[in-house]
Chain A
């Protein structure tokens, strides 16, 4: 009963959020002279990286004597990359994009009513919170901390020190910041696309697309709902301001991944979209990631276990670091366990596939970062055999205290063949790479084999059964064993939270900024999706587990969700 209620509530939330659209601001970008591009570059550097035009740090003071170096803590930290601001605890950093600064500021309810009235040709008489800034009053705010009403700004806003030239550059940048309506957005519509690559099975493709189709269907239902008497008043009140028709195209990528980029560019040219919703591929997400970085297109939570690992890239949000994260976790776990006098001797056997390489990359980078250099990696080509004999030979040759085997379906037969051996070292395998085989690891080896499990253990996941069906509406003929429908559900859930939060500001960076600020989400598959400004991998965890004894073994946790 409780679960039905939860599912119903989720459905309602999705419906409500779809109703909660706001209107994008009309904007009027102002360009400078011939060197507009250079001014834009310098302004962006000042705003994001805290450097003045001559490359020295922009300095300021808080509370009179707390020095601030903007290379550590820049405008973009608080006011967000899009300039639409942030709210943290009791501190609101207001919007600083041109459209906000150079127009009067109103209470949000007045702002909405004003824009609705404007569409109907009516001017409302309402007192603004502050008048529009001019270049002079804005400079006064940045230098002296006084707003256009003459009131002191919040004490956490630094009072900056900069000359006229730098001030002009910054003001010029702010005027252009989040000013142009991005591709894919009109007063009545929002265009999205999702991606399916050729290697994806028809069942997986269906599992993702069915949920996305439901998103579009519910959105279209608002058209019927507005005719219903019980909603009529609300719809009249909100007018068109809150409603956009959502469309989601499917961009199919075929052939060699080296050609995907050109295919994507062609799709995008033909059909400019605001953002990519999800997407699915069994291959590396790199070409799609790069396309999004170059064209500044948000891509939300694609279903990939082979994401791009980067600390600074901006446009793609991933559910997790995929295989890489499992490798990372295994290394942290082993480093934390290290107690043997002679240290741990690691042998890493890596199948030369994207999965094997990603697992090994995560392990190696983390193991080395932790100050360990001693490890041996043996790479197996796609054809090279891994069986009991070859494992025994490698163990004999390298004498490791722990052997890590990053390979797929050949791991179980190999382990079965060596199960009777004595003096075997500790072992680590990936449950995602081995698949259901992992449950058949021979009893004799279970206490020796550590398993990386990037999802909730099955007993805990039972509480989330049914989420995958909320949007697929039973359209799927097979159970969602590969977590495609459930991960799509999570993507849509987070997208709708973001859409609600961007309010009237349909800018791409704003969508990314606001998703970066949402609270923890408890959804299927991963223990927790957590966010933070600039963070791009929502699930940070992976369990290390072992099988217990008996005919129907269970996965026993040997670690917390996050291992340090």
Chain B
């Protein structure tokens, strides 16, 4: 019994190594659903260091888009942020009607200075804010959107659009093309 336990312990990590190979995302259409969320009472911090009450920003009369990212993320966040850049460019003057929000899932590293630099790198136009906060508050926000992940490296592409008239959220899972993103914004009331 003792021997088999030791063998199991020895072999288990190797098995894990074998299992990690060959993961690959498929080009499938993004998932869509309409959701209601109860937002937590938290105050986050934006790229200018200003305190921002989450409810005030998200439940406004404006169309709001929320994504979870972090500044040093390798793959998903740059793609999501490229989506924001393209949306702002595609909407032109109308981009002022949409409030884009990126919420950090690596709050300890993403300080206002780091977030400001990130937005500058992406040449973000006004109307795109990056929010950070205490880990407890960020976890509460992720949980409220049913998007909690304990490890930032296991995060996935999720876009949430708040439709102010219906007071509901459109949950979009996966990567969208720019035209799909614009269409979704229009469906939400743009």
Residues on A facing B (Cβ under 8 Å): 12, 16-17, 19-20, 62-68, 72-73, 77-78, 80, 86-94, 107-109, 111-112, 129, 152, 154-156, 230-231, 234, 238, 335, 369-370, 500, 503, 516-517, 519-520, 528, 530, 532-535, 540-541, 560-562, 564
Contact = CB atoms under 8 A, between A and B. Distances in A.
A238 B11 CA distance: 11
A108 B22 contact: yes
Given A91-B25, A530-B108, 7 more contacts: A20-B13, A108-B20, A152-B27, A154-B25, A369-B113, A370-B49, A540-B108
B72 interface: yes
B35 to A, nearest CB: 20
B60 interface: no
23 contacts: A20-B14, A20-B17, A62-B177, A63-B177, A66-B79, A66-B86, A72-B122, A77-B74, A88-B155, A89-B153, A89-B157, A91-B76, A92-B23, A92-B24, A107-B18, A154-B24, A154-B25, A154-B27, A230-B7, A517-B74, A530-B106, A530-B109, A533-B72
B169 interface: no
B22 A89 contact: no
Contacts of A63: 175-178, 180
4 shortest A-B CB distances, which residue pairs? A108-B21, A73-B78, A63-B177, A540-B108
A301 B177 CA distance: 42
Contacts of B70: 532
A88 B23 contact: no
A532 B152 contact: yes
Nearest to A15: B10
Interface string B150-173: 111111110000000000000000
B156 A108 contact: no
Nearest to A73: B78
| Contact residues on B (Cβ < 8 Å of other chain), bracket | 35 or more
Contacts of A86: 74-75
Contacts of A16: 9-10, 13
B90 to A, nearest CB: 9
Interface in B1-32: 3, 6-7, 9-11, 13-14, 17-18, 20-27
Nearest to B134: A560
A77 B180 CA distance: 25
Nearest to B87: A66
A66 B182 CA distance: 12
B108 A562 contact: yes
Interface in B46-72: 49, 70-72
B82 interface: yes
Contacts of B20: 87, 108
A93 B175 contact: no
Contacts of A94: 24
Nearest to B26: A154
Nearest to B114: A311
Interface of B: 3, 6-7, 9-11, 13-14, 17-18, 20-27, 45, 49, 70-76, 78-79, 81-83, 85-86, 89, 106-109, 111-113, 121-123, 132-135, 150-157, 175-180
A97 to B, nearest CB: 16
Contact of A533 (B7, B73, B108): B73
Contacts of B73: 88, 532-533
Nearest to B132: A564
B120 to A, nearest CB: 10
A155 B175 contact: yes
A231 B3 CA distance: 9
Given A65-B177, A108-B20, A155-B27, A77 B75 contact: yes
Contacts of A91: 23, 25, 75-76
Given A86-B75, A108-B20, A156-B175, A231 B10 contact: yes
Contacts of A238: 14
A89 B80 CA distance: 14
B21 to A, nearest CB: 3
Nearest to A79: B74
B17 A500 contact: yes
B22 A129 contact: yes
A562 B14 CA distance: 36
A238 B122 CA distance: 47
Contact of B156 (A90, A109, A516): A90
A65 B75 contact: no
A255 B27 CA distance: 61
A430 to B, nearest CB: 20
A49 to B, nearest CB: 12
A491 to B, nearest CB: 20
B151 A535 contact: no
**Residue among B24, B121, B132 with the highest chain A CB neighbour number at 10 A:** B24
Given A519-B151, A532-B152, A90 B23 contact: yes
A434 B181 CA distance: 56
A520 B79 CA distance: 24
B85 to A, nearest CB: 8
A423 B129 CA distance: 42
Nearest to A518: B153
**Residue among A73, A87, A112, A129 with the highest chain B CB neighbour number at 10 A:** A73
Contacts of B175: 62-63, 66, 155-156
A156 B111 CA distance: 27
Contacts of B71: 532
A88 B177 CA distance: 20
B109 A535 contact: yes
Contact of B109 (A234, A335, A532): A532
Contacts of B180: 63
A340 to B, nearest CB: 18
A94 B155 CA distance: 17
A109 B74 contact: no
A93 B75 CA distance: 8
Given A87-B23, A156-B25, A541-B108, A77 B78 contact: yes
A520 B156 contact: no
A345 B148 CA distance: 42
Contacts of B45: 564
A311 to B, nearest CB: 9
A72 B118 CA distance: 9
A500 B82 contact: no
